[in-house]
Amino acid sequence: MIERYLGNKSSIINHIMKEVDKLCNKGDYVCDIFSGTLSVSINLKKSGYRVISNDINRFSYCFGRSHLIANNIPKIDFESLGIDYNLYAENAIAKVKLIEKGVGYNFLNDKKEENSYVDLIVLLTYLDSISEKDIDPEHRKSFFFDYYTEEGKYSKFVSQRGSEGNRKFFTPSNGSKIDLYLNKIREWHKNNLLLDDLYYLLLSTISESVEKVSNTQGTFHDFPRTKYDSRAFKKLELRAPKFDNILSDIDGHILGKERDSMEFIKEVPSHKLLYIDPPYNFRQYTSYYFMLNLICDYCEIPDLNKYFNEVKYVRGQNMDKNFISSFCKNSEFISSLQKLIENADTEWIVMSYFNGRNHKSATAGDKGTILNELEQFFQTDLFESNSLKIKPIKRKNYQSYGGHKALEVNELLYIVKKRMKDEMV
């Protein structure tokens, strides 16, 4: 999964699941309305709930397709992809034999799954080994190298304050590798050689692998201007996902495709619990994570030259699909929350928020005020009286402000019952 993500809930997932388990039965619909990295959605799936998941980001949709909706390791037709299986099989088998069974890898105890996983490793090893000559000339492009590495011919930036330089989101060799992966997949995709399950799995695998070697400190809004983060020097290689949490017999999950949750919620069927993990401040996710969205969009962008010609700002984002969320605005946060919950056909709400730098304390210096406003909001007529519980969970905050120091903050869980429509006053 994507690890460096503002508000990623991996580190406190057990606390969240404990509260969900108290209120829901297996098979119930649970809605993760701001799903981000899918860390909560996947854990809900693993626990036997039917999951409804949505986020505005394209990369979240790709992970949703490959990790939530898909229940199997996809089948691969090597012949139609033009891959000589035998060339890579021996190494792939040896690699898989070395994997220690344990968290995430217990599926390898099943011979059939092990064989499918070996096939996937063959495919990823092939992609890691290709050079330009393996790509149809029509698809030989170098956009990631050109726009996002310091040696690229279009990577120059001038900031609003006048500072100049060349973008360095990746080392030049890793930038070229991203081009090779994506151009080959674009070629396969254009020739209709990839079934959806495999297509989305490849895109989420590339996103996840790229994130591990990106020269960023948590977001793609910027990069260290004069140096590289030590992680960026690692050689980019595709990392296959652990499938324990993906393989499942339960169908019926629902996934929104880059929808505004304010609209999507109106179409969501009746569910037992709505988990809300909203942005905590002004940072707009489609800007801060544009690179992951670009990787997931690349094969479907009709005119790549036009798209890259229009990139803007120091970071080099094409603003076509940029989305401004009302949940990131101090003045609209509570009213947006109210509309979202009014339109939700849910019994319970569990909402995460935190007492670190949030909507109000990030700008006004009045830390705490928003927490009072939230507490008041959750006691309005929209909710059953006296049903609100607020549970603090301690965690370290590794987010991108405050230098590198891990601050101890409380993540707060608001647990509250929505008043039935006919009980509303």
Residue 9 interacts with ligand SAM (CB under 6 A): yes or no: yes
Q: Are 73 and 247 in contact (CB under 8 A)?
A: yes
x/- mask, ligand SAM, residues 288-327, rule CB under 6 A, reads -------------------------------------x-x
- The phi, psi pair for 157, rounded to 5°, reads -130, 155
Residue 262 interacts with ligand SAM (CB under 6 A): yes or no: yes
Q: Give the nearer residue to ligand SAM in terms of CB position, either 9 or 45.
A: 9
d(CA 49, CA 42): 10
In angstroms, what is the minimal distance from the CB of 262 to ligand SAM?
6
Collapsing DSSP to helix, strand or coil, 154 comes out as: coil
Residue 8 interacts with ligand SAM (CB under 6 A): yes or no: yes
Burial class for 393, CB neighbours closer than 10 Å (0-12, 13-18, 19+): middle
Residue 219 interacts with ligand SAM (CB under 6 A): yes or no: no
Residues 45-104 that bind ligand SAM (CB under 6 A): 55-57
Residue 277 interacts with ligand SAM (CB under 6 A): yes or no: yes
Angstrom distances, CA of residue 392 to CA of 45, 197, 273: 25, 39, 19
Residue 5 interacts with ligand SAM (CB under 6 A): yes or no: yes
Closest CA to 126 of 63, 168, 76: 76
Residue 356 interacts with ligand SAM (CB under 6 A): yes or no: no
In angstroms, what is the minimal distance from the CB of 387 to ligand SAM?
23
Q: Give the nearer residue to ligand SAM in terms of CB position, either 118 or 370.
A: 370
- The phi, psi pair for 291, rounded to 5°, reads -65, -40
Q: Which residue is nearest to ligand SAM (CB)?
A: 7
Length of the chain: 425
By CB under 6 A, name the one of 4, 36, 174, 311 that touches ligand SAM. 36
Collapsing DSSP to helix, strand or coil, 127 comes out as: helix
Strand 156-158 relative to strand 407-417: parallel, antiparallel, unpaired?
unpaired
Residue 287 interacts with ligand SAM (CB under 6 A): yes or no: no
Closest CA to 262 of 316, 335, 314, 318: 335
Q: Are 314 and 157 in contact (CB under 8 A)?
A: yes
Q: Which residue has the tokens 């988990």?
A: 275
Interacting span for ligand SAM (CB under 6 A) from 29-37, 81-89, 212-220, 313-321: 29-37
By CB under 6 A, name the one of 29, 39, 66, 219 that touches ligand SAM. 39
Residue 261 interacts with ligand SAM (CB under 6 A): yes or no: yes
By CB under 6 A, name the one of 136, 260, 342, 375 that touches ligand SAM. 260
In angstroms, what is the minimal distance from the CB of 277 to ligand SAM?
4
d(CA 402, CA 96): 41
The contact set with ligand SAM (CB under 6 A) reads: 5, 7-9, 34-37, 39-40, 55-57, 260-262, 277-279, 285, 325, 327
